[in-house]
Structure 1
Amino acid sequence: MTLHDTRPANATAAPGTPPETAALKARFRPVFDRIAEGALRRERERILPFEEIGWLKASGFTALRVPVEFGGSGASLVQLFDLLIDLAQADTNIAQALRGHFALVEDRLVAPRAEGARWLARFGAGEIAGNGWTEVGSVRIGETITRVAPTADGFRIDGEKFYSTGTIFADWIDTYATRTDTGEPVIAIVATDQPGIERRDDWTGFGQRLTGTGTTVYTGAYVGPDAVLPFARRFRYQTAFYQLVLDAVLAGAAGAAVRDVSEQVRRRSRGFSHGSGTVVREDPQVLQVVGRARAFAFAARAATLEAARAAQTAYETSQGDDRAADDAANVAAEIASAEAQIVAADLALRTTSDLFNALSASASATGLALDRHWRNARTAASHNPLIYKERILGDNAVNGTDPVYVWQIGRIAG
């Protein structure tokens, strides 16, 4: 499946001046701190973060990229991902749960203003979207079982999706499907507050267990006439964007692990006879472990933000008429997100594992749930296989081959 740029001339206004980053951080820090306070309890008791996502909606966080004229903050992509890392450090589940939402906001932001305005107004008012793209089971690569059929007053949608991250919390579902009348791949934006929509919290992964990921079933659900969009006109840097959210999750997991282990080291009174003979918080070897992990977390964040700058350039070129510049910007954004993915995954996994060297066996207590940082990082790092991204980067470096922008998973014939 490839993404062809068949968009009409873009009528969206030029990007405005984003707000000050310091002001944004000060605005949302209290919300993130409040979210972090309950993260351990939610993990222990498997409490889905409905209330916490409500706080983010009320604070305007989910409208960060929405233009000010529609009730948002008009933040840049670098600012979005900087704040998303902060949120992921508070709770990686919630950051990933908003992945589909921010992607749909981005798509409607890139679309001609006449097409995107009604959606931007909804998102500016606090409505959020979830994700319905991946199909499981016997579906072959390149096939989509979910179908959208025209009706007298719109469309109906039937099908089943898995990995529906964030959908259980959402007002809308960003759904990939095929039109029955034309065979065209489309995006159907489906309202969740209607009959014919079933959302299951049946994700069984060992990490990221509170993202609301699971199965979504569509049984004759209604889709408005203005809510079926040609997939060919989807924003071009979408794969880079989706990966950047996972990169932010990885950077956040690393930062959270450093925070939590630092607190455990600070409190620790028991030491080893063959240690330095000082209290643990002053043990030079223990401090070295924590310091190295902190540097790894810093580097994961820096790589993610550098890739976000490339995505911001792709957004800016999408608002102009220079096709060559837009092509180059989209290649650069995809390459940068893959580079950040490999770096963030490696550093986050090392950080969340190596930090246990600063503690002892008591750190494995289930009550502390320090293992959740590794489990969450390992799960986020598994979404888009690293081995394929490494090959794509190598092929680009050696042969100048363009990266793959859109892909699917499914059964391979033979």
Structure 2
Amino acid sequence: MTTSPLSVGTDYETLANRFRPLFRQIAAGNVEREQGRDLPRESIQILKQAGFGAVRVPVEYGGAGASVTQLFELLIELAEADSNIPQALRAHFAFVEDRLNAPPGPARDAWFARFVAGELVGNGWTEVGSVKLGEVITKVSPQAAGFVLNGAKYYSTGSIFADWIDVYARRSDNGADVIAVVDARHPGVTHSDDWDGFGQRTTGSGTSVYVDVPLTAEHVIPFETRFKYQTAFYQLVLLAVLAGIGRAIERDVTQEIRERKRVFSHGNADTARGDAQIQQVVGQISAQVYAAEAATLRCALPLQRAYVARFGNDEALERQANIDAEIETAKAQVVISELILRAASDLFNALGASGVSVSKSLDRHWRNARTAASHNPWIYKARIVGDWKINGTEPLYVWQIGNNLKAG
């Protein structure tokens, strides 16, 4: 394979300092957006303009050249400010990663230029309705001038904010699975913000419908060429979301305790901040968040190895890196989900009844964490890890959800 510049990392503090003022600006409006279910359009726009979507693009092409680990460090910081936004950008960074793994050439270079210009990519993978396992209703059909896309998707996270949409579809002529890269602003594309979950309510998720949307041949990508560690990558975004929620929990509970005036007569000090038991609760939360963030960044390392190995000549090394990426993100998911959900509940042990005030919206941390942790059920991930450890069974890299094939 022809070699080309790779994104192997940059100075993290210099990179992060580009965006931290924007993260603070985003955090300042988070509670109001949460309470009004206002989509963070302005927040995503300022990130676009600042080049956030191109941090993984190699420096030689105008990006920041960040490593996978550095990307996820940034996403944790962003999730602390507003956990909805990194999830809304999940599909974008996955598509960027896919293009980073694509063979060098004009088509890849064109995508790098789009990313550097601030263009974002949304998601359209999950079928709606009574879809059986393995069935793909959304179809790409050949036409005289290329192809046309028809179908509908749910959980279309981030598509409302996007310039392009990464749509999983099936060709009507030969049955091949493909990625159709769709112009998000085409008249045949309709977005609905009808996600009804109790958490992560401003991710721009919901239904997207595609009616006779034209596609050029270069925007119909064989699914078999998709980057191998994609499932681990998608999962790692959710782990970064959870770790960021944990940091927000730690931030908010310490601030509330510092400012708290009232104490209980049977407490241990004249102030809440001086109460040893309250200090213990906050210390326990801090430790849980520390472990969650450390695990998230630790399991980002094999993804970077898989990316670099993609352009090497050692198939065994690349295969092992992809296995490690899947297994390590699965192990991290099992523990991080529990750590952050516990922290989101324990913060109320430190605050008492006043902590449940609707005006504070502290319940958003648990609701958002519970929602993020419900994607890709961790019970199956624990089994996959166990099967690998006991039997050496290689993990699945792609899976689907739908009705049982045996159902009527």
Into which bin does the TM-score normalised by the smaller protein fall? over 0.9
Are residues 1:303 and 2:257 paired? no
Shift of 1:15: 2.1
**Pick aligned residue for 1:264 from 256, 271, 282:** 256
Distance 2:225 2:237 in 1: 21
Structure 1 pair 16–135 and aligned structure 2 pair: CA distance change class (3 A): closer
**Pick aligned residue for 1:201 from 170, 185, 193:** 193
Shift of 1:66: 1.0
Distance 2:178 2:222 in 1: 5
Shift of 1:319: 1.2
Q: Secondary structure at the match of 2:258?
A: helix
Distance 2:77 2:336 in 1: 15
Q: Which runs of 5+ in 1 are unaligned?
A: 1-9
**Pick aligned residue for 1:366 from 358, 368, 377:** 358
Residue-by-residue CA offset, 1:327-377 (whole Å, 9 max, x unaligned): 111000100111111121111101111111100111101110000000000
Paired position in structure 2 for 1:252: 244
Residue-by-residue CA offset, 1:76-98 (whole Å, 9 max, x unaligned): 00000001000000000001000
Are residues 1:273 and 2:269 paired? no
Structure 1 pair 280–243 and aligned structure 2 pair: CA distance change class (3 A): same
Paired position in structure 1 for 2:11: 20
Q: Is the 8 A contact 1:135 1:162 kept in 2?
A: yes
Q: Is the 8 A contact 2:127 2:153 kept in 1?
A: yes
1:136 partner letter? V
Are residues 1:214 and 2:206 paired? yes
Q: Is the 8 A contact 1:174 1:187 kept in 2?
A: yes
Distance 2:385 2:319 in 1: 17
The worse-fitting range, judged by mean Cα deviation, of 59-68 and 265-274 is 59-68
Distance 1:192 1:163 in 2: 15
Paired position in structure 1 for 2:109: 117
Distance 1:228 1:16 in 2: 25
Q: Which runs of 5+ in 2 are unaligned?
A: none
Shift of 1:14: 4.7
Paired position in structure 2 for 1:375: 367
Shift of 1:165: 0.4
Distance 1:190 1:70 in 2: 23
Residue-by-residue CA offset, 1:297-353 (whole Å, 9 max, x unaligned): 111010000010111111111111211111111000100111111121111101111
Q: Is the 8 A contact 1:12 1:111 kept in 2?
A: no
Paired position in structure 1 for 2:141: 149
Q: Is the 8 A contact 1:86 1:252 kept in 2?
A: yes
2:25 partner letter? R
Shift of 1:59: 1.1
Q: Which runs of 4+ in 1 moved over 4 A?
A: none
Distance 1:75 1:37 in 2: 26
Q: Secondary structure at the match of 1:226?
A: helix
Distance 2:215 2:32 in 1: 38
Residue-by-residue CA offset, 1:183-229 (whole Å, 9 max, x unaligned): 10000000011111000000000000000000000011111221000
Structure 1 pair 208–379 and aligned structure 2 pair: CA distance change class (3 A): same
Shift of 1:404: 1.0
Shift of 1:17: 4.8
Alignment of 1:67-78 (within 5 A): 67-78=58-69
Shift of 1:60: 1.1
Paired position in structure 2 for 1:386: 378
Task: Report the TM-score, using the length of structure 2 for normalisation.
Answer: 0.98
Q: Is the 8 A contact 1:136 1:410 kept in 2?
A: no
Alignment of 1:93-112 (within 5 A): 93-112=84-103
Aligned residues: 405
Alignment of 1:57-72 (within 5 A): 57-72=48-63
Structure 1 pair 218–322 and aligned structure 2 pair: CA distance change class (3 A): same
The worse-fitting range, judged by mean Cα deviation, of 79-88 and 21-30 is 21-30
Q: Is the 8 A contact 2:7 2:59 kept in 1?
A: no
The worse-fitting range, judged by mean Cα deviation, of 66-75 and 25-34 is 66-75
Shift of 1:181: 1.3
Shift of 1:262: 1.0
Q: Is the 8 A contact 1:14 1:319 kept in 2?
A: no
Distance 1:258 1:42 in 2: 20
Paired position in structure 2 for 1:234: 226
Distance 1:270 1:378 in 2: 30
Distance 2:281 2:152 in 1: 46
The worse-fitting range, judged by mean Cα deviation, of 171-180 and 273-282 is 273-282
2:300 partner letter? A
**Pick aligned residue for 2:235 from 233, 243, 247:** 243
Q: Is the 8 A contact 2:5 2:58 kept in 1?
A: no
Q: Is the 8 A contact 1:64 1:80 kept in 2?
A: yes
The worse-fitting range, judged by mean Cα deviation, of 16-25 and 336-345 is 16-25
Distance 2:303 2:36 in 1: 37
Distance 2:121 2:379 in 1: 30
Paired position in structure 2 for 1:292: 284
Q: Secondary structure at the match of 1:212?
A: coil
The worse-fitting range, judged by mean Cα deviation, of 239-248 and 21-30 is 21-30
Q: Secondary structure at the match of 2:148?
A: strand
**Pick aligned residue for 1:33 from 24, 40, 56:** 24
**Pick aligned residue for 2:333 from 321, 337, 341:** 341
Distance 1:152 1:226 in 2: 15
Aligned-residue identity in percent: 56
Paired position in structure 1 for 2:391: 399
Q: Is the 8 A contact 1:135 1:144 kept in 2?
A: yes
1:148 partner letter? V
Paired position in structure 2 for 1:42: 33
2:352 partner letter? S
Shift of 1:71: 2.1
Q: Is the 8 A contact 1:58 1:126 kept in 2?
A: yes
Shift of 1:16: 4.8
Q: Secondary structure at the match of 1:190?
A: strand
1:139 partner letter? V
Provide the aligned C-alpha RMSD in A. Answer: 1.0
1:226 partner letter? E
